[in-house]
Amino acid sequence: MINLSNGSDRCWATLTNDVFMSPFLSEEQCGSLLYAIKNQPGNSGNTLDNPNNMHEYGAILHDPDLRAWIDELANTTLRETIQEKFPGMPGHYFSSHHSFITSYSKDANQDLSLHVDASHITLNICLENQAQGADLIFTGTRCRHHVDTLPDDPMTRLTFRAGDAVLHVGNQRHFVTDLESGSRTNLVIWMRLEGAAYDHANPWVVKRCPICQ
């Protein structure tokens, strides 16, 4: 599998509250990872299964080697970065993850509406991008009770380059703008802490909600 250093040499830029970005994979690593995911044992050649109720086009990572690689990413490679960037989490061991590929193209998703993730921390890595549009917009961290309140002003827009990764708390609201042309493919990893429900009403999440402060 792809070898990643422990991340001390990466510089995660702060995009807004609870959202950090860094160049993460080389073009070659993006290609190998996408190939490995598309050719997971058991894939029937149709990778367009349904990873969750929002991304109609994508593929879930089910191969044990790929899943072990993600575990290492979450619990070793990114451990220090996550501890530093997201203080106050009720633990640092991610006992499970839901990981999937999501694709934007004229034959796949065209956009994605405003939502929060079923995760404590999300890692979103762009594997290829020749798209115009399909930008990722963050509208602010909110607890469950304030998830429908007004967006942060200004909102935060991210145009991915292949290899870029963004790391954010699950309750940082986001959506994807209309695709104008081309295609973009990302690997999205929803990391879940051991023994803590990913309930956006829990105290750790509420503490990050500006309306509750």
Give φ, ψ of 75 to 5 degrees: -105, -15
Rounded Cα distance, 134 and 159, in Å: 8
Tokens 């960037």 belong to: 85
* Residue 208 sits in the site that holds Zn ion (CB under 5 A): no
Smaller CB distance to Zn ion: residue 149 or 183? 149
Q: Which residues does 36 contact at the CB level (< 8 Å), separation at least 6?
A: 1, 63, 65, 66
CB of 84 to Zn ion, least distance (A): 24
CB of 59 to Zn ion, least distance (A): 34
Give the amino acid at 22. Answer: S
CB of 196 to Zn ion, least distance (A): 18
* Residue 211 sits in the site that holds Zn ion (CB under 5 A): yes
* Residue 209 sits in the site that holds Zn ion (CB under 5 A): yes
* Residue 212 sits in the site that holds Zn ion (CB under 5 A): yes
Smaller CB distance to Zn ion: residue 21 or 209? 209
Site residues for Zn ion, 120-179, by CB under 5 A, read: 143, 146
- Asked whether 116 and 173 are in contact (CB, 8 A), the reply is yes
* Residue 201 sits in the site that holds Zn ion (CB under 5 A): no
Rounded Cα distance, 16 and 168, in Å: 10
Tokens 């702060």 belong to: 14
Residue 125's beta-bridge partner residues? Answer: 165, 187
CB of 149 to Zn ion, least distance (A): 8
Smaller CB distance to Zn ion: residue 131 or 209? 209
Tell whether the torsion through CA atoms of 121, 126, 132 and 134 is positive or negative. Answer: negative
Smaller CB distance to Zn ion: residue 114 or 212? 212
Enumerate binding residues for Zn ion (CB under 5 A): 143, 146, 209, 211-212
